[in-house]
Structure 1
Amino acid sequence: MKALRVLVGTAGVALMAVGASLLTDVRDPTDVLVWLGGAALLHDLVLAPVVLLVGLVLVRGGSRGPVRGALLVAGALTAVALPVLLRPGRTANPSVLPLDYPRNWLISLVAVATVTALWAAARGFARRRRRPGR
């Protein structure tokens, strides 16, 4: 598990470096700071409390962790997709948003739900195998 965390952390730092390198094209850095502040507030004031509350109310037992993780990922995907999901209709320039973003967002949510179900099932199976006499 430690190797996986190091790998994911390294990938995250590399992606942050790529994002930072793209900031050279930004005309007004205050817009970026406002956007980052808004994202932090959205996460801390809306997303995290909702995830914790839903996980507490809906899920009991050992699968609470995977479900909370899935809710967090689904909430982050939704927060990132909101500008495109709320954009009305087609744009005048078809190259601006060329993909079917609502469909792709739903596919991403289904993938998160599938991975979570498999993860919870594997954890439950591992727990049953560890208990002697059952």
Structure 2
Amino acid sequence: MRPRPPLGNPFQILLLACSFALAGYAGVRLFADDWTAVALWLVGAALLHDLVLLPLYSLADRALVRGLGAARRREWTMYVRVPAALSGLLLLVWFPLISGMVDRRYRTATGLSADGYPARWLLITAVLFGGSALLLAVRLRRATKRRPPAVH
């Protein structure tokens, strides 16, 4: 009996083909108007990420792990990493509006004000960290209830 090739099931292959088709369509539409500006933006974004952002968040993560390790709470790392990563991603995506750099252009294009974006981002960040802290507290409480009593 011949071994089956590791291609995955037909649904996965169809989904992958559809995602490639969608990405190709988006690429054609994106590069149709001003391909040099888009290519320059992509290269600049890759360089900014690799040369500036990656070392910064790697250094921050190393400091977090070292600090929690020194406090003997290294298992808490993910409760800080996840909300920080989500908050950072939101900041990266909405940075022009959060920083107020494109307020006039945004108002002209949409007719809306960009005034609330910094406060909303801070609120979402607070909710993310608060939810993570709440989840950590619930898990710690559950773990202490399961622990057998100390024998004296």
Matched-pair contact (CA < 8 Å) for 1:70–1:113: yes
> 1: CA distance between counterparts of 2:125 and 2:63?
19
Bigger Rg over Cα: 2
Q: Report the count of equivalent residues.
A: 121
Partner of 2:119: 103
RMSD over aligned Cα atoms = 3.4
Partner of 1:120: 136
Match status 1:83 vs 2:96 = yes
**TM superposition shift of 1:117:** 1.1
> 1: CA distance between counterparts of 2:84 and 2:29?
34
TM-score scaled to structure 1, two decimals? 0.65
Partner of 1:4: none
User: What amino acid maps onto 1:54 in structure 2?
Assistant: L
TM-score scaled to structure 2, two decimals? 0.59
Determine helix, strand or coil for the equivalent of 1:114.
Answer: helix
User: What amino acid maps onto 1:71 in structure 2?
Assistant: A
User: What amino acid maps onto 1:52 in structure 2?
Assistant: R
| Structure of greater relative contact order (alpha carbons < 8 Å, 6+ residues apart) | 1
Specify every segment of 5 or more residues in structure 2 that has no aligned partner in the other structure, as ranges.
1-11
Identity of aligned residues (%): 18
> 2: CA distance between counterparts of 1:96 and 1:79?
23
Match status 1:22 vs 2:26 = yes
Specify every segment of 5 or more residues in structure 1 that has no aligned partner in the other structure, as ranges.
1-9
Matched-pair contact (CA < 8 Å) for 1:56–1:64: no
**TM superposition shift of 1:112:** 0.8
Determine helix, strand or coil for the equivalent of 1:91.
Answer: helix
Of residues 87, 91, 95 in structure 2, which corresponds to 1:74? 87
> 2: CA distance between counterparts of 1:37 and 1:89?
22
**TM superposition shift of 1:67:** 1.4
User: What amino acid maps onto 2:30 in structure 1?
Assistant: V
Distance 1:46 1:97, change over 3 A: farther
**TM superposition shift of 1:129:** 2.1
**TM superposition shift of 1:109:** 0.5
